[in-house]
Amino acid sequence: MEPLAGLEFYFKITPVRIVGADRVDPLGHWLPPDNRGNFRCDDSNSTGWCHWSTSAVQTLDSVPGDPAGVTSCSIFFDYERQYFLLAQADCTTRRFEAIFRGYEAEAWRRLGFRHVLRHGQPLSLLQFDPADHFTMHARGGIPQLLPRNYDGPGRQEYANVAGKLLILLGLAAFTSEPESRSIVATIRDSFRLPYWNRNYGGPLKDDPSLSRMVGYVVKVAPIRGVELEDYEEGYCGPLLYGRY
């Protein structure tokens, strides 16, 4: 049986648009707002709750509220610097403000990585900051998902990847247009773990006029009997092969 054959989960991806002024960090780099009032979810283009498995993606007809165990993140892409910015919460909720205002920390952090060995093989785990590294352990083989500035120092091999499914789904959504039909089709046809099939749609992150205006709120919920952490930590092998 394939190592990922037992992987399945629920997900929901909703485009979110910035309304109002952007911010800059002390170095003058762009940042999304840190006030939930400056974001508007495009619920009409939300995927709604879907069920992902290695064999199919199914849209659920009706889900009253969020499933048990749901986790959320928000993700934007800075076209100028070619990297992703993440917040570990739905940026339209009070929880987004409470977490970061309470600790006086920056809400938006760069995508990071943790380098590990699994079954004797190196693996880069996508992580929320604070993370050990801001690049993979080796050369990236999926530039449509991870731009070249995430390439690591190892040039003789391609980096296999695991890590947070929230982040992986967000990266995948940025290769599509911010419309429900396009997002679902991308996850169904391209997000074929442990493989990525190139998406030939209109990638949001390649549009300079939109990359600092539109991002995503991503939610993932476990299915009973499936330990998502085992897959995210790479114990079942890579979630994505760097080159195949």
Per-domain boundaries in the chain: 8-232
Q: Which residue has the higher pLDDT, 165 or 208?
A: 165
Nearest C-alpha neighbor of 22 from the set 35, 11, 10, 8: 35
Mean pLDDT of the chain: 90
Task: Assess contact for 76 and 84: CB atoms under 8 A.
Answer: yes
pLDDT band at 173 (very low <50, low <70, confident <90, very high): very high
Identify the pLDDT of residue 95.
Answer: 86
Residues 191-209: pLDDT tens digits? 999 999 988 866 666 676 6
State the residue for tokens 């690591």. 152
24/27 Cα distance (integer angstroms): 7
Q: Which pLDDT value is given to residue 104?
A: 56
| 13-39 residue pLDDT tens | 999 999 987 788 888 889 999 889 999
Burial class (CB in 10 A: 0-12, 13-18, 19+), 217: buried
Three-class DSSP category at 5: coil
Per-residue pLDDT band at 77 (split at 50, 70, 90): very high
Radius of gyration of the chain (CA): 17
Candidates 243, 241, 237, 240; CA nearest to 116 is 237
φ and ψ at residue 219, rounded to 5 degrees: -125, 140
pLDDT band, residue 42 (cuts 50/70/90): very high
**32-58 burial by CB neighbour count: b if 16+ within 10 A, else e?**
bbbebebbebbeebbbbbbebbeeebe
Strand partners, 215: 16
Nearest C-alpha neighbor of 220 from the set 171, 161, 165, 183: 165
pLDDT at 114: 96
DSSP state, residue 194: T
DSSP per-residue codes, 113-127: EEEEEETTEEEEEEE
Residue 2's pLDDT band (cuts 50, 70, 90): confident
Torsions phi, psi for 40 (to 5 deg): -130, 120
**pLDDT of amino acid 174:** 93
> Would the pLDDT of 168 be above 90?
yes
pLDDT confidence band for 56 (50 / 70 / 90): very high
Q: In this predicted model, which residue has the larger pLDDT, 28 or 237?
A: 237
**Statement: residue 172 has pLDDT above 90:** yes
